[in-house]
Structure 1
């Protein structure tokens, strides 16, 4: 059995340091690299892409709202045509940095509030898909199972990749618990690793109300900005490998 392990990286900005990209790149198989709109300055992004290239980690473009102050975690009602342009801009910027770093963008994943919005917001979901299709229709789109984003991407002929969040709580409906609600974030490495094993083996994960939710995914996300992120990701990787699961990016599987 194979599965991808991804993390959000390249999110530092100037003197504001977030996460440990160097350490996380030793653990994951795919890196969701910021594109400068929600986080990431040019130097940070080039360093992150170069580090990924050196380690054979696949780079994906993590596109978001133009919201540095809010870290892209505030919904913005962007007109679809403007959102298309913003995403094309981000894809081109990160792709250029990748090219001079010895790699290229291999997939696309929305960030933060945009990720949550395109679970149900059909207009913004279609805008994200339109941007990817216009830039490079060979790029897979990573998103939440059952989301409007993945439905729109599939309809457009793009490859879709379902994602599971190791360190986030799930509602009984299979969506992520809002970060402002109890149970949204998980920090215990053993608990998280066990949840991941159950998702991989049984296709289910416990929701915040104690019921089981069916989740099938090809990629597992561990947030790079969470406290103890490297320890948590390392525990997940170790537990998966002990169970005979190979960690490999979905673009290479």
Structure 2
């Protein structure tokens, strides 16, 4: 690994990606993003992948977050599973704590927690699931920030209990008129066209309404923007989005 000459980017919004999931572009993405959400064993990831990703994130001065999920590698954490609240609490605690310990070993601080997949989408609107995530964060370190869907119920729920919240929007996902993400199984839920994604980014950074999948205007107020590391065009899209975020941040 070369000597660290990387300077953190200054963007209009924080730019994050989900890493440590076997993606081929992880290191290249770390040159472009400002926050990394590291898979920690629930849907994918193990000690070796966490050590590799955290080491690279430290080198590129990228903030590190835990990316826990339902403990369900078979479905990549993207479906609901039958699990008790106590079992889910224990699994999430183990996942986040495993990454936190690796961060300490490598000499960096764990910055935030972003749930993955089905857990992310459901906890955003389900107060019982949201409470489990809040309780896990408080048990590990109440200074950890929670990254969750902008404008969702969990945002106010977590803030009411003293957690700092990062409100997240998505460059490459369509929204429903409710402000929820369109389910991946729904046609056109994922934006494949880079120019369409860039148009959505522009609107997100300027406060203009985006157009939902059902044709309604939706305003999303976010402080972080996600580009998915498993998108086939992840690297080229991240470069274009980074340029767009700089355009909307003239001080850079």
Residue in 1 that maps onto 2:205: 200
Determine the C-alpha separation between the residues in 2 that align with 1:204 and 1:246.
24
CA offsets 1:108-148 (integer angstroms, 9 cap, x no match): 11000100111222211100100001111011111112323
Provide the TM-score with structure 1 as the length reference.
0.91
1:5 corresponds to 2:15: yes
Helix, strand or coil for the counterpart of 1:125? helix
Say if 1:129 and 1:149, in contact at 8 Å, map to a contact too: no
Alpha-carbon deviation of 1:246?
6.8
Say if 2:151 and 2:220, in contact at 8 Å, map to a contact too: no
Does 129-138 or 207-216 show the bigger shift? 207-216
Residue in 1 that maps onto 2:216: 211
Residue in 2 that maps onto 1:121: 126
Helix, strand or coil for the counterpart of 1:32? strand
Q: Which of 169, 172, 179 pairs up with 2:184?
A: 179
Residue in 1 that maps onto 2:8: none
Determine the C-alpha separation between the residues in 1 that align with 2:43 and 2:126.
19
Q: What CA RMSD, in Å, does the superposition of the two structures yield over aligned residues? A: 1.6
Pairing of 1:1-253 with structure 2 (within 5 A): 2-12=12-22, 18-244=23-249
Say if 2:12 and 2:248, in contact at 8 Å, map to a contact too: no
Determine the C-alpha separation between the residues in 2 that align with 1:229 and 1:28.
12
Determine the C-alpha separation between the residues in 2 that align with 1:47 and 1:203.
38
Determine the C-alpha separation between the residues in 1 that align with 2:44 and 2:145.
22
Closer/same/farther in 2, CA of residues 204 and 105 from structure 1, 3 Å limit = same
Helix, strand or coil for the counterpart of 1:110? coil
Helix, strand or coil for the counterpart of 2:74? coil
Say if 2:205 and 2:248, in contact at 8 Å, map to a contact too: no
Determine the C-alpha separation between the residues in 2 that align with 1:37 and 1:150.
23
Closer/same/farther in 2, CA of residues 246 and 48 from structure 1, 3 Å limit = farther
